[in-house]
Chain A
Amino acid sequence: MPATKSVPDSHGRFGEFGRRFVPETLMQALEELTIEYEKAKQDPEFQSQLEHLLGTYVGRPSPFYFAERLTEHCGGAQIYFKREDLNHTGAHKINNTIGQALLTLRMGKKRVIAETGAGQHGVASATACARFGLECVVYMGAEDIRRQKLNVFLMRNMGAEVRPVHSGSKTLRDAVNEAMRDWMASVETTHYIIGSVIGPHPFPMMVRDFQSVIGSECRKQCLDALGRLPDEVIACVGGGSNAAGMFYPFVEDYDVKLTGVEAGGLGSAPGQHASPLTYGRPGVLHGSYSYVLQDDDGQTLDVHSVSAGLDYPGVGPEHSYWRDSGRVQYTMAEDHEAIQTYQLVAKLEGILPAVESSHAIAHAMKAARKRSADEVIVVCLSGRGDKDVAEIARITGQEF
């Protein structure tokens, strides 16, 4: 069966993936959220409010940019960037948090919780909450707080409370666990703004929808600029929200090749990478059924990536659906490739891509070399790389 855009069904199923594997305590809240979201989606006033904010506050549409010198350097297909790095707060995450903050207001809730790994979603949540006067609590692994001081500073200055999570591996997945726990006790007054296309239904669908503005704009921009659709669209995949938003509008354009790039880390051994779609198996994590990195007992495996935003053992269920239906090809880029690409794009284009996005560009360069000059590749440049400078300096031995 070819993949379709008409997913998920009313049970949150993307093919066999997705659904809800959560404690009974959350079921009613998820049901109510699904109903509220469906109403908002049909409501022209909600949609026009969202559109207005995306235009005047986020700075959309984001540019569709021809990376001319990178294209020349590779000597193959033309490489274009969809510039999500130019959004307010510097990444695609804000597309989702503005949408969910509006939904929070609509539901009459006053408090928001969020989880964050690298801090990008935390900053985007704190930003949206500041904009609407909502109370905001961000759960963040103690280890990540130490590594991402700048983002912690930004969140606190925008009035958010950053709560350190000391349990388990003290990273993103523990922050998700802690946020879900908070939500179980606070669901009547609180909305949980999940940061990626993960978790129980309706989150994977809702986050994809809010992020689809990326792909919808890009599709139109490409038609306007070039008079045709691209040959290939490439995005990096951690939980998979920028990729889901980029790919979804192209899913039924079957001639457009879609490629997701996971974090290959240091290599293929367990614990050295964060590539569930490449090395993992279907299983249950964080409330949904999808590809996951687990041992033979179902315990989540440790993951590694130079990029904190891709450092996650699971992936959104729609990606699993796209993988198994063959609609999207998934591959990976390793740490060193991402770092080299970061440095190269800075010199050739005057753009510092986030180290996450650098994974996608690294693969785009390989793909471009195998294609002819009249073919077109579009990469989602999901965020800017300022947040990564200290880490890049450390790894490459530069003064900072």
Chain B
Amino acid sequence: MDIPKKDSYSKKAYIVIFVLIIGLNVFAQEIQPVQVLIDSYRLPEKLTKETAKKAITSLKKALILCKDDALKSRIEYRIGMIYFKSDDFTQAIDSFNNLSQSDNCPPLTKLCSLNMAGRTYLVQAKSNKALEAFEDIIKFSHIFLTKDPNHNYPASVLKLAISAGFTRAEIYLSNQDINSAIVEYKNIISILGSNEVYATNSYAPLALDKISQLYLIKGNIIKYNHTASDLINKYPHYYRVPIIRLETEAVKILKGQNADISFSRGSFDAPARLIALIKCNSNNALQENVAVLMADLYSRYEHSYGGIMLGYHYAWLLDALGEKNRAVEVLNDISKQAVSINPDMPNIKQIISTLTYYAKCQQTILHGENNRYGEALEIIHSLKTDPNDAHMLTLSDSIEKGLQVLKREVSKDANDH
């Protein structure tokens, strides 16, 4: 009786071992592709063709072993990314298109594939195909919509959809298709809705700013004003709000003076055109109104990028109105303020540095006209001139030479006495 029992135990043991071996084998088959995929992320960011080829061969082998659709999609996506990084865009687009058309691809991987397809088409200068791919992202992102009215798109999905929207608008603008660009910027605002996501919270005012400019370029003043007001009210902390306030007022005044005036470059040049108008216009009421407006705006937005821009225009207005001493004070003031501002964006940094340079040049000219050669020379000596800027170099040089001559020849310099 004992012998059959032993037989039955050993049989059971064999079965257990057999099942475990099969099970572990299946498990190992999945583990190996996962490991290959993980290893592929250890590659350097800059890929040579050879490194890329090696990694892709391993990933393709892993793909054959892989039984799971989600993992397969991740491996296929990684293959596409390695092709993209090694500049093999034809192969990359095949991988991304395969994934974006596959029914078995998980939604997030599909969204990323659509995004990369769009980016790859853009690199290949296939703008129309890129437009289609980015449109597909926006459409596909709807499947992620939640019922929460304040947070209806998950953050990652929102990031990709908004980036796709901006790229579409920029492609339209580079083709000078203003109407389609406006539609696209409006679409971005509707996607953003009431989503409060830190990484995307600067996009709505940016889109509104672009829309208002495009309306003005098209000559639609009513829509320009409406959009700009909407932007000022909803996003008072947007960095361009101080300037937008001046620009909208300048556009109104210029339009009031000349109904046929056009703004083919948007509102950026409206304050400079207004200053030119004031200089040629003897209407005292108009001059006073503009001076009050600029003084008020400048006092509200000091110590910001927008405030410095306002101050610069205000100083030139004062100069045009003959208030030279006050103009020098404002120019001096904005040069001091500029030191305390340290913007993150290199383009804003560059603009502040340019404004400060010309503010100081103008100060020296005004001092020179006022026979204060010593003070003027002190400022011009403190100027840091960009050695690559031909205009700045010649201007500083000619102003300094002129001041040296005047200081030597004219005895009226108050500082000489």
A binds B: no
**A residues apposed to B, CB below 8 Å:** none
